Chain A
Amino acid sequence: MADFDKTNRENHLLLDTHVPVPDPPSSYHLATTPDLADTPCSSLQQDHPLLRIPLELLRKNFRSAHFELEKDKKNVVETLKETATRAVNNEPPPTEDVLKSLDAIIARMRGVKRKLAASADEEQRLYRHETARVRHLAEIYAMHTTDDVKYEVWSRTRLDRMLVDYMLRQGYGDSAQSLARERGIEDLVDVKTFEQMAQIRDSLRNGSVTEALAWCTAGDTKKELRKMDSNLEFMLRYQQYIELVRPYTPAKLSEAIKHAQRFLHPYRETHAAEVRQACGLLAVPPHRAASYPAYAALYAPQRWEALAELFVATHNRLLSLPSIPLLHLALTSGLSALKTPACHSAEGAHRQSAEGRANVASLASVCPVCSRELNDLARSVPYAHHTTSHVEHDLVLLPNGRAYGRERLDDYARKAGLLDGQVKDLRTGEVFSEERLKKVYIT
């Protein structure tokens, strides 16, 4: 029996070394005092788009420069040839004519120079971005634990990046810009790209396809979109068609038919159903569409919102941007990793309100899931899975059924100026004498 007790005690000791001791609640830098087996760079996946976007933009920048150059080259060579041919013909044109077309060619070449210079500027900007980002990520690669003092600074910058990204995606351009400026992270975020996107998206929401169509057909975007099987351009042309039919005047209707012949007809095989429906639409003026749900849907204003969403999705895919804000991802995974069953229980609620009144010592490091900022948000995620207990190693039970670490109780008793041999409940403030404490064994 005595032996058994001994082994039992030893077991407890053995186990105690495995149970993590919660930090003394004095640490201000909550997030930076961990000892973590994983190195911080195993969490880099979410930062890959950071490096990819400048490269995608560089490629895009190059392709549009190349596209323009090819076009101009063809034009210059042909014009020059034509001018030369005319000059050697039997009836040479007057010098003024030759000079005129030479001037045109020179102007064209100046245009080439201007466009190339603009592309080169953009290229420099993107190089700057990529360099800053590679350096930024190199910092985290250089850290081996999340203990590193630099980790907090880095992680804060990461949060700022995520916030700017979120704001840009939500269309809060001013906030995004001022946050990026305040934190000096302009090279780490893509304000310009997102602003262009927001502009086009908003024009779609306001019922205009012009800007989106211009984006679709600019440079070689058209080719890229075809490569990724995007139906954005078709949907835009389709909307244009619907808008031509909508007024239902003879002039507009014939315009609509011409538009369909030119822009919708080529899609008759890939988008057969839509194209057929487009023909049918001619027979259904808007005021009679109510009885034909399929046509009513075509006239519906909600289509604009859907188009805006389609554009954003296409735009993000083209630049290999994640389709949802990284902040959402981080919150989803972070909140559920932090969440415990206690966070939304009655006890949690009690704790939260108690802290609001600030009349208890409570746990100085407040759980983010229990915080007012995030509590409601965390309701939508599941709580973390644990296979081992995480409790203080020196748990004792108070007569009121609450258990605390002995060390912490003593510490609080000292701070609260209690008599020797007394302890005070950290949450309820009840005072008990030491003899009434009972050791708790957590297996």
Chain B
Amino acid sequence: MAMEVLEKELEKLKDTAQLSNSLANVDKIIDLLTAARSEVERANDPHVTSLTLTKLQNPVQRGLDAVLDDLKVVHKGQVKFGKALEKALTTDKDTKGSLPEDHDPMAQHPTLINRAIAMHLLREGQFGVASAFIAEAQPQRPQSSISQLQSQLSPLSPSSVTSPTSPRSPEPYESHLTPMDELSALQSETLQSSFAEMYSILSSLKERKLLPAINWARSNCAELEARGSNLEFELCKLQFIWLFKGPSVNGLPDTPENGRLGALYYARENFGRFQHRHIREIQQLSCAMVYASNLPASPYRSIFDIAMAFDEVAASFTREFCSLLGLSAESPLYVAATAGAIALPQLMKFLNKVKGKNTEWTTTQEMAFETRLPKSMVYHSIFVCPVSKEQTTAENPPVILPCGHVLARESLQRISKGSRYKCPYCPNEGSVKDAKEIIL
């Protein structure tokens, strides 16, 4: 709402307050002056000269005043817009107070931040920006080594690789180097070429080409299986359906390798390896063959509805690819910055309250106020002891009583009498040594 008002104000400002509006008046003065000049030159007579010059005084003065008036309009517009802006920015009750600029723990870790940014840029596929960034964020070194590093970095565009590259297992990016060395290590090709491969496969997926992804999944099937991922089967299944739909949908040439026949052939070639695990789904897919003529009315229509399938499979491919690199699918920098934006109003509200009370804004370990983040941003189980209302930590872990209730260890020690306790949540009693530490 506030922005709509502001947008209107801005339109008004742009319509009226234009410095260029004053140019016409400047031109008029120049015309006056040039006219007077030619008059003086033409007559070449002291009398005419003095007359012309005298007559020139007032119009020029007035002209200049007019230019200044034009500028005043601009100024007025700016003042008005400035007020509208302040109003728009202060209407939200949450937005009072200033940004907490005097507390900046991040300032001490520029290299860590630079490393995080470099990795973010690489994983976003911004290879050009990443290499510029790494070069600039690098501490000064001899010119030769920089150019040497630069030459190693030929920016790879994901779309330039169209043929499926020979799939190779991404090497987990493991490093025991200092952050600065690591920044230069990012310069090295490993991570970048891994992400280049990922983007090349993703762009194939976007073009509805599944084979590069299937090849990748196949050559990494051992790792994927250990992760409990069905990616390879999901991809093969989609390929089957894609072929099944035939040339009218998939736009592939009308050959025996396409259409129902092609799908059947593909299934025979590829589904064998999934038989023990996915037999049910394979059965469904083969049964669907029978209904081929009127699939939309068959019980199998949901399987063959692939409107979202390519996007979904691309998402799970990204996730698996990144986790094989030892990285999360979503850029941590993005998640952290978004969480930061969500949490900032609370932080500011808190700071405004404690301002002037000379209190530190945090304890050393724990924040002093609760920040509510969206559920999708809760990554760990958080256990708050119902007795002490404290979060459990490695030093004070959660323990489970034989009755199934969970407390923090310190709370249990506090409520126990000698070696016996009574559960605060049910009538059970027991011995403290029967409480077992658990990992949530």
Residues of chain B lying within 8 A (CB to CB) of residue A403: 381, 400, 438-440
Report yes or no: A382 in contact with B366, Cβ–Cβ below 8 A: yes
- CB of A318, distance to nearest CB on chain B (Å): 15
Contact partners of A119 in chain B: CB under 8 A: 19
Max chain B Cβ within 10 angstroms of own Cβ: one of A167, A384, A401: A384
Bound: A401/B439 CA distance, A? 6
Complex CA distance for A71 and B230, rounded to whole angstroms? 76
**Is A110 interfacial (CB-CB < 8 Å)?**
yes
- Judged by a CB distance under 8 angstroms, whether B252 is at the interface is no
- Give the residue of A109, A377, A397 whose beta carbon is less than 8 angstroms from that of B112: A377
With A80-B60, A84-B53, A376-B179 as contacts: A331 and B136 at CB distance below 8 Å: no
Rounded to whole Å, the gap between the CB of A424 and the closest CB of chain B is: 8
A120: interface (CB < 8 Å):
yes
Residues of the A chain whose Cβ atoms lie less than 8 Å from the Cβ of B97: 45
List 7 A-B pairs, Cβ < 8 Å.
A48-B89, A109-B30, A120-B19, A155-B337, A323-B101, A335-B336, A371-B328
With a cutoff of 8 Å between Cβ atoms, the chain B residues found around residue A102 in the complex are 33, 36-37, 40
**Does A98 make an interface contact (CB < 8 A)?**
yes
- Residues of B367-422 whose CB lies within 8 A of A: 367-384, 386, 389, 391-394, 400, 403-406
> Once the chains bind, are A338 and B18 in contact (CB under 8 Å)?
no
Q: Judge if B356 is at the interface, Cβ distance under 8 Å.
A: no
Given A51-B85, A109-B29, A340-B382, are A59 and B376 also a contact pair (CB < 8 Å)?
no
Pick from A113, A337, A370: contact of B340, CB below 8 A.
A337
B384 interface neighbour in A98, A103, A322, A386, Cβ under 8 Å: A386
Nearest chain A CB to B440's CB is how many angstroms away? 5
Q: How many whole Å from A1's CB to the nearest CB in chain B?
A: 8
Q: Does B92 contact A (CB under 8 A)?
A: yes
Q: Which of B29, B104, B334, B363 is the one whose CB lies under 8 Å from A382? A: B363
Whether the Cβ atoms of A109 and B33 lie closer than 8 Å is yes
> Which of B317-373 touch A at CB < 8 Å?
318-319, 323-324, 326-345, 347-348, 362-373
- Whole-angstrom CA separation of A422 from B78 in the bound complex: 72
A402 CB to nearest chain B CB (Å):
5
Summed over the interface, the residue pairs from A and B with CB atoms below 8 Å come to a total of 505
Q: Which residues of B contact A402 (CB under 8 A)?
A: 438-439
Given contacts A138-B7, A368-B336, contact A23 B376 (CB under 8 A): yes
User: In residues 227-251 of chain A, which contact B (Cβ within 8 Å)?
Assistant: none
Q: Given A62-B75, A159-B334, A328-B106, is A46 in contact with B341 using a C-beta cutoff of 8 Å?
A: yes
A35 and B375 contact, CB distance less than 8 A:
yes
* Inter-chain contacts of A369 with B (CB < 8 A): 332, 336, 379
Are B29 and A358 in contact (CB-based, < 8 A)?
A: no
- Closest B residue, CB atoms, query A8: B426
B154 lies within 8 A of chain A by Cβ: no
Stretch at the interface among A188-196, A264-272, A388-396: A388-396
A289 within 8 A of B: no
Segment of A36-44, A203-211, A280-288, A297-305 engaged in the interface with chain B = A36-44
Interfacial chain A residues near B371, Cβ < 8 Å: 333, 336-337, 384-385
Contact flags (1/0) for B3-16 with A, using CB distance below 8 Å?
11011001001100
Are A332 and B105 neighbours in the complex by a CB distance under 8 Å? yes
Q: Contact mask A115-131 → B, CB, 8 Å, 1/0?
A: 01101100110010011
A406 surroundings in chain B (CB, below 8 A): none
B149: interface (CB < 8 Å): no
Which residues on the A side are within 8 Å of B337 (C-beta)? 155, 158-159, 162, 327, 330-331, 334
**Is the C-beta of B296 less than 8 angstroms from some C-beta in chain A?**
no
**Is B50 engaged at the interface, CB distance under 8 Å to the other chain?**
yes
Complex contacts, A66 vs chain B, CB 8 Å: 68, 71, 75
User: B133 — which chain A residues lie within 8 A by C-beta?
Assistant: 167, 172, 175, 179
Contacts of A442 in B (CB 8 A): 383, 406
CB of A253, distance to nearest CB on chain B (Å): 36
A218 within 8 A of B: no
Q: How far is the CA of A377 from the CA of B119 in the complex (A)?
A: 14
Q: Tell whether, in the assembled complex, residue B379 and residue A383 are in contact, meaning their CB atoms are under 8 Å apart.
A: no
Q: Return the chain B residue nearest A441 by Cβ.
A: B404
For A346, the chain B residues whose CB sits under 8 A away are 394
- Tell me, yes or no, whether A88 is within 8 Å of chain B by CB: yes
A30/B376 contact (C-beta < 8 A), A120-B18, A141-B3, A376-B112 known: yes
Residues from chain B with Cβ under 8 Å of A215 in the complex: none
A120–B23 CB distance below 8 A: yes
Interface flag for A3 (CB, 8 Å): no
Contacts of A46 in B (CB 8 A): 99, 341, 344
A373: chain B residues at CB < 8 Å are 115-116, 119-120, 327, 331-333
Residues of A within 8 A of B106 (CB): 324, 327-328, 331-332, 377, 380
In the complex, what residues of A have CB within 8 A of residue B335's CB?
Answer: 30-31, 334, 338, 368
Instruction: Tell me if A372 is interfacial: C-beta within 8 Å of chain B.
Output: yes
Nearest-Cβ distance from residue A337 to partner chain B, whole angstroms: 4
User: Is A178's CB under 8 angstroms from B128's CB?
Assistant: yes
**Chain A nearest CB: distance from B219 CB in Å?**
14
Cβ contacts A53-87/B at 8 Å (1 or 0 each): 00100110110011001100100110011011001
Q: Mark A9-34, 1 if CB is under 8 A from B, else 0.
A: 00000000000111100111111111
Task: State A155–B411 Cα separation when bound (angstroms).
Answer: 41
Q: Are B439 and A333 in contact (CB under 8 A)?
A: no
Chain B residue nearest in CB terms to A405: B381
A sample of 13 more A-B contacts (CB under 8 A), given A88-B54, A130-B10, A380-B105, is A20-B378, A30-B329, A41-B92, A42-B94, A87-B50, A88-B53, A95-B41, A113-B30, A117-B20, A328-B113, A334-B338, A337-B377, A397-B438
CB atoms of B379 and A45 under 8 A apart:
no
- Cβ-closest chain B residue relative to A336: B367
Residues 70-90 (chain B) with a chain A CB within 8 angstroms: 71, 74-75, 78, 81-82, 85, 89
Q: Is A52 an interface residue (CB 8 A)?
A: yes
